[in-house]
Amino acid sequence: MAERVFLHIGAPKSGTTYLQSIVWGNRHVLREAGLLVPGKNPVDFNLAAAAVRIRNPGNGRPARTWQRLVDECAAWTGTAVLSAEWFCRTPDDLIPRMVGGFEPADVQIVYTARALVPLVTAAWQESLKTGHRESLPEFVASLDDDERRWSWRNIDPSRVLARWSQHLPAEQIHLVTVPISGADPLLLLRRFANVVGFDPDACDTTAAQANESLSVEAAELVRRVAPRVDDIVGFADLPWHERYRWLRRFFAHGLMAPLPGHRIALDPGHAQAIAARADLAVATLRAAGHPVSGDLDDISVAPVDPDAVRPADVSDTQLLELAVPVMAELVARVREATLEQGGARPDQPPSKGRVRG
């Protein structure tokens, strides 16, 4: 078994896509330095995050993938790192099973934490990318529901680390804080590498990916359009990756994310309440004694963008102005794809659509 295993368990929207793309893209370099990144492709870690939440996993794909990752670590003699932002959703009573699978390795937990105020707005627009239709105030209210994916249980660092501390000593649970906006983009990588134990300067960061956020105008348009697409296509009856591919990657990231607009603003009352929660989280974490790479104050910093706009203040006129270029781009892409596939002749009428009122 690997001598030491680092489990990077989240949080979502805390630079995880950026870190994962660098670690995965440099896995051969890291392997030569003694750090194993197990798996065949990044999807393995998404399946692993699902497997550790299943009480009776059987022999399905998630369970087989998780066991394969564990077996790779068992055949390794150095250090290994596994990263999936939804590892943080592991039920409390299943954490021992997850960690125990790596015995007798020294298991270390890593949690990346971001300032809570911008994290909440980022989480809201992330939920919209997969067809959710809640307004921002409704989304904030729903964070109190621990059964939901997006909840304080998973994104409040003081709550997450308290749960994992029931099963591991505080010194084995590391907190990496996401630098405030405007900091050196490599600083997060350096903080993470300092914990896991690899040389960040040896990594090629040119292909690093970021999970792009939407402007408030784009987010509001996605909130209105994505559920309609979902209703027409029927993603609920299709494999999960269909929704991910078309709503998240094609529509939200491919078409909407590049469009200009304003940052998302919370209602003042919600912003104050979340800032107070962040202050309490920092105080709790200071007392907990976890190793910290970064600055705990990064979690409570709530920079105010005077140009940020509440979703409720986005007008229909603004949405129409945003929708026009998107519709034009869609027609152009459909035409290009049709021609590439030897599609309909110019004299053929288009097929009837399924637009519903």
Domain-wise residue ranges, the chain: 4-212+268-300, 216-261+315-340
Q: In the prediction, which pLDDT does 327 show?
A: 94
Nearest-5° Cα angle at 217, 277 to 124: 30
Could you tell me the pTM of the whole model? 0.92
Cis peptide bond N-terminal to 104, omega within 30: yes
Q: In the prediction, which pLDDT does 348 show?
A: 56
Q: Is 21 helix (H, G, I), strand (E, B) or coil?
A: helix
* Cβ-contact 118, 236 below 8 angstroms: no
Sign for the pseudo-dihedral over CA of 214, 311, 260, 218:
positive
At the second CATH level, the architecture of 4-212+268-300 is: 3-Layer(aba) Sandwich (3.40)
Interacting residues of 167 by C-beta distance below 8 A, sequence separation 6+: 95, 96, 99
Rounded CA separation 185/198 (Å): 18
Tokens representing residue 49 in the block:
């995050």
Interacting residues of 301 by C-beta distance below 8 A, sequence separation 6+: 115, 180
* Cβ-contact 79, 35 below 8 angstroms: yes
* Cβ-contact 297, 280 below 8 angstroms: no
Q: In the prediction, which pLDDT does 351 show?
A: 52
Main-chain dihedrals φ then ψ at residue 79, nearest 5 degrees: -105, 145
Q: Which residues of the chain have pLDDT under 50?
A: 352-357
Q: In the prediction, which pLDDT does 357 show?
A: 44
Burial 150-171 (b: 16+ CB within 10 A, else e): bbbbbbbbbbbbeebbebbeee
Q: In the prediction, which pLDDT does 20 show?
A: 97
Distances (CA, A) of 315 to 129, 221, 304, 309: 20, 11, 22, 11
Tokens representing residue 352 in the block:
């009837």
Burial 103-128 (b: 16+ CB within 10 A, else e): eebebbbbbbbbbbbbbbbbbbbbbb
